[in-house]
Structure 1
Amino acid sequence: MSECVVSLPMYDWPELQTYNNKFFKVLSQSFSHQGYKAPNALDRTRDRMDVWLDKNLLLSQTCGLPFKTLLKNKVSLVGTPAYGLNCGAGSYYSVIIVHQDSQLKKLEDLKNKTFAYNEKGSQSGYAALLYTLSVIKDAPQFFTSSFQSGSHRQSIQAVAEGKADFAAIDALSWELALRHEPTAQKLRIIAVSEPTPTLPFITALRSPRELDKLHMAVVDAMVALDEETREALLFIGFAPMQVSDYQVIEDRLYAIQETYGLDY
């Protein structure tokens, strides 16, 4: 029998790995109480998509955009973390950031400027940005200069270093950057996107009964976490979201595809 797989790739910054390891240790105990045997360690080596599509996936976290595109009907939703973001439980948003010394003050000022994005498969760093900019008349002709940075943290660094004029950063990554990334102090927020459900916890395709057990395992693990770890990871709860709650991401994807002529 193949060993189950667990990963927490979305916010596994070097400064957070100790805390994610602590969360994994508590998760493993909760999984055991529900009849599941967790692996010995988090998977930090394999490609994220390979892990997400692994038939032995016990738990991972993905982005809402691939959840509604590449992973649609191929994984099951366990639930959605609620973070301390002054947003609805289980929701988040993106902040659009510029250099603090720039003259850019509003969305319209971003016309013909260069933006950095973590990757085109990102809801918060790419799709949410294009959707937010689409309110500007003739948006496609103004927002053609961009490049892929590789991560939210690298997008922050790119704007701070003047390599990009602006970027969209998910609110949790922004909070982590304010804590751990010195270049974030050189930046400021000029706009925020409309909220969407935050990054879901997923597992391989499973029955409703199994999903209930895994959901409870995560809830129990979050409750059992020490306060320092919970605060470091910004956990405030675990929302019982439904797949239908993520339809807004797919709807907005269709809207930006139509506006910008994109193909996902």
Structure 2
Amino acid sequence: MRIASLGMYVQARQEVANDALWAALAERLRARGVADVPERLERRRAVQDVWRDPDLLFGQICGFPLVSNPALGLQVLGVPVYDAPGCEGGRHRSLIIARADDADGIVAYRGRRAAINGRDSNTGMNLFRALIAGEAGGEPFFADVRETGAHRQSISAVILGEADIAAIDAVTYAATLRGEPELVPALRIVGETAESWAPPFVTAAGTDADTVAALKAALAEVIADPALAGEREALFLRGVVPGDLERYLPLRTLESAAAAAGYLVLH
């Protein structure tokens, strides 16, 4: 059986919206004759595992592993356009956060503690590394870098004093503050990274051309359906623009530039 996954943005309101979005997509795919369309989104498995599954019909992936792990071989269906601070025209960035009563500006955090969601994350690590590489001078910048497993956990680490600074995906940050407005007074933005293309919608390498065409057509219909306006708003999802793997190759260039600056590892 094929699988579908929307595991990038999973704040409670987003998960409900993802279910509705997938139900609408699945209905349109079946109407186009696509076989083995799953009833529900896969939530039992880690997204990294789902990305490697040859039965992946529809999913969403972080841009950095898409191009840094050639073994994945995923096909890009489209690039989401998000309507959140730090996002525009299919592009997004990381917002660098700290506690509200802490220092302003990136340079003030030399020798402090950083949190990242994972070493393979574009917004949590790759864009952050590119920013810090310009300040580090090829030397360790942070006293410690803690991997938390998720952007939301990185936010908690900063608030709880377990870390001092973190790079948070702009969509995740907007969703967190919308769902937990009590966090607003506890945080401040002390910088932002360069922009990159938002996490694309993808399908497995082996998905046939007719199914790829059906996926793209169904996705376009769901994005335009007035009945799903509330679900798209919950996801900050304004539209989808065409895209391919080549759009994400500059993320490898950022990695190469950090390596050339003597800062291949964020530390």
TM-score (structure 1 length as normaliser): 0.92
**What SS does the aligned partner of 1:260 have?**
coil
Asked if residue 212 in structure 1 is aligned to residue 213 in structure 2, the reply is: yes
Aligned equivalent of 1:165? 164
Specify the alignment match of 2:13 in structure 1.
Answer: 15
1:211 deviates by: 2.6
Aligned to 1:79: 78
Separation in structure 1 between the aligned mates of residue 136 and residue 45 of structure 2, nearest angstrom: 42
Letter of the 2:237 counterpart:
F
Matched, 1:250 2:252: yes
Per-residue displacement from partner, 1:201-235 (whole Å, max 9, x unpaired)?
11011355543331121111122252221111111
Residue identity in the other structure for 1:191: G
Q: 1:260 aligns with which of 248, 259, 263?
A: 263
Q: 1:210 to 1:41 in 2, by over 3 A?
A: closer
User: In 2, distance between residues paired with 1:139 and 1:189?
Assistant: 25
Paired AA for residue 245 in structure 2: V
1:235-262 Cα deviation digits (max 9, x unpaired): 1001101211111111112222343243
Q: Which residue of 1 aligns with 2:27?
A: 29
Query: Does the 8 Å CA contact 1:157/1:183 hold for their aligned counterparts?
Result: no
Note the alpha carbon deviations across 1:21-74, whole angstroms, 9 max, x for none.
Answer: 111111111212332242111100123222112111110011011101225562
Residue matched to 1:69: 68
Give the Cα separation in 1 of the matches to 2:43 and 2:49.
12
The answer (yes or no) to whether the contact 2:21–2:228 under 8 Å persists in 1 is: no
Q: Which amino acid aligns with 1:11?
A: Y
Structure 1: any 5+ residue segments left out of the alignment? none
**Aligned with 1:241 (options 217, 222, 243):** 243
The SS at the match of 1:105 is: coil
CA 1:194 to 1:76, structure 2 compared with 1: closer, same or farther past 3 Å?
same
How many residues align? The count is 260
Tell me, yes or no, if the aligned pair for 1:19 and 1:233 is still in contact at 8 Å.
yes
On the 8 A contact 1:100/1:188 being kept in 2, the answer is yes
Amino acid at match of 2:6: L
Q: Give me the identity figure in percent.
A: 28
Code of the residue aligned with 2:145 in structure 1: it is: S
DSSP-derived class of the 2:139 partner: helix
CA contact (8 A) 2:62 2:122 kept: yes
Distance 1:158 1:262 in 2: 21
How far, CA to CA, are the matches of 2:152 and 2:88 in structure 1?
A: 24
Deviations 1:100-130 (A, max 9, x none): 011x111111111101111111000111111
Question: Using a 3 Å threshold, how does the CA distance of structure 1 residues 139 and 95 change in structure 2: closer, same or farther?
Answer: farther
Which residue number in structure 1 is paired with residue 97 of structure 2?
A: 97
Deviates more, 1:11-20 or 1:157-166: 11-20
Instruction: Judge which range, 59-68 or 199-208, deviates more.
Output: 199-208
- 1:168 and 1:247 map into 2 onto residues whose CA distance is 21
Q: Is the 8 A contact 1:81 1:237 kept in 2?
A: yes
Farther off after superposition, 55-64 or 210-219 = 210-219
SS at match of 2:111: coil
Counterpart of 1:33, as a letter, is A
Alpha-carbon distance in 2 for matches of 1:184, 1:118: 20
Change (3 A) 1:210 1:36: closer
Tell me the CA shift for residue 96 of structure 1. 0.2
Is the contact between residue 178 and residue 185 of structure 1 (CA under 8 Å) also seen in structure 2? no
